[in-house]
Structure 1
Amino acid sequence: MLGIRPYRKNDSIQIACWCRDSISFYKWSEGRLGDFPVSPERIEQAVSGRIDNEKYFPFTAFDETGAVGFFTLRQPGVNAEELSFGYVILRPESRGKGYGKQMLKLGIKFAFELYGITKVSLEVFDNNPDAYYCYKSVGFRENGNITSYDLCGEKWKSIEMEITR
């Protein structure tokens, strides 16, 4: 059984170990955490600077073995009715077990039922089909917004997806 809890400082040590290659790291971070490899300190710096922000929610997913995933929910702009997923990552050994879907559903439940949001969004790179189909399987749909990023010497397309209550 999977659960989520608020992110804790030492979670960054495990999360940094889950980023084992540069391509996976940039698919996860969009380059917002600097260069690969990422350090626990850099993750902590990125997350802790916003913890007291009432529009930013970092979560760690866990099972009986410990931490297995991480994600954030944040208000992406001035629309108080929307939260956006970010930094969605699973421990590599936990992939393929349905944890991604469970973790997303728990985040969506938090947004809709506990926080009262009417729309949740996220972005996914078109070169990350496993994540794309995971998001689609829990109800996210493309909304037509596409952004390009220069990553790893290439142009990567990011597809925005959303789900509404």
Structure 2
Amino acid sequence: MDTVINRLKMLKEQDLMMLEAWFQDAEVKRRLEGMLPLQGWFSYVQSSLDYFVWVAFSENDPVGVIMIEQEQQEGQNTGSIAIVVNPELRGKGYGRAILTKAMSLPELKQIKRWHAGIETDNAACIKCFQSAGFLFDPMEPDEDGYYSLWN
């Protein structure tokens, strides 16, 4: 059975409780601790015109959150992506399904290039983005230990 994301909804303040629960997972906390405290991060999201965050649903269950920051790079609209999947659902294809759904949103059609900065030791995330068509560029990580993957 294919993993299906049937809707994305903009993140609301009441969704922070769900994210707080996901941040109890050591892997989520380690990878995304820069978002903490979540209330401060949410205030930033609310005040930023070029930063979008959606909760992804499969059926009626929230399965992940995708964050896209739109910016100009080399004269092109670029979307920088971060994603978190419910820790209980890792490895089931939800990450790729969320990426695919979000990248096809009509309100993001002006984005011409997609970017993800992923830690060198985050093999699952690298595999997820590669399965959605992202490629390394450059092949080596940067000085902070992040690979750049582009689509």
Same fold (TM over 0.5): yes
How far apart, CA to CA, are the structure 1 residues paired with 2:45 and 2:91?
Answer: 31
CA 1:106 to 1:50, structure 2 compared with 1: closer, same or farther past 3 Å?
Answer: same
Structure 1 segments, 4+ long, off by >6 Å, are none
SS in 2 for 1:117: coil
Q: Which residue number corresponds to residue 81 of structure 1? A: 77
SS at match of 2:34: coil
Q: Please give the per-residue CA displacement for 1:49-93, whole angstroms capped at 9, x wherever unaligned.
A: 23242211111111224211012100245655111002x111122
Give the CA deviation at 1:23. Answer: 4.1
CA contact (8 A) 2:70 2:111 kept: no
For 2:48, what is the secondary structure of its paired residue?
A: coil
The SS at the match of 2:104 is: helix
Q: Identify, as 1 or 2, the structure richer in helix.
A: 2
Q: Select the residue among 138, 141, 154 that pairs with 2:135.
A: 141
Gaps of at least 5 residues in structure 2 are none
Structure 1 residue 132 corresponds to structure 2 residue 130 = no
- Give the TM-score taking structure 2 as reference length: 0.83
Q: CA deviation at 1:24?
A: 3.5
From 32, 38, 44, the equivalent of 2:39 is: 44
2:78, 2:8 → 1: CA distance? 20
- The aligned amino acid for 1:146 is P
Q: Which residue of 2 aligns with 1:57?
A: 52
1:8 aligns with 2:12: yes
Is the aligned partner of 1:114 residue 2:107?
A: yes
2:137–2:150 Cα contact (<8 Å) kept: yes
- Report deviation, 1:21: 4.0
1:97 alignment partner, SS class: coil
The letter of the residue matching 1:160 is S
The TM-score, its normalising length taken from structure 1, stands at: 0.76
Query: Once superposed, what is the RMSD of the aligned Cα atoms?
Result: 2.1
In the other structure, the counterpart of 1:91 is: 86
Aligned residue pairs total 144
One-letter identity of the residue aligned with 2:147: I
Q: Which residue of 2 aligns with 1:39?
A: none
Percent sequence identity is 19
How many Å separate the matches in 2 of 1:109 and 1:161? 18
The unaligned stretches of length 5 or more in structure 1 are: 35-41, 150-156
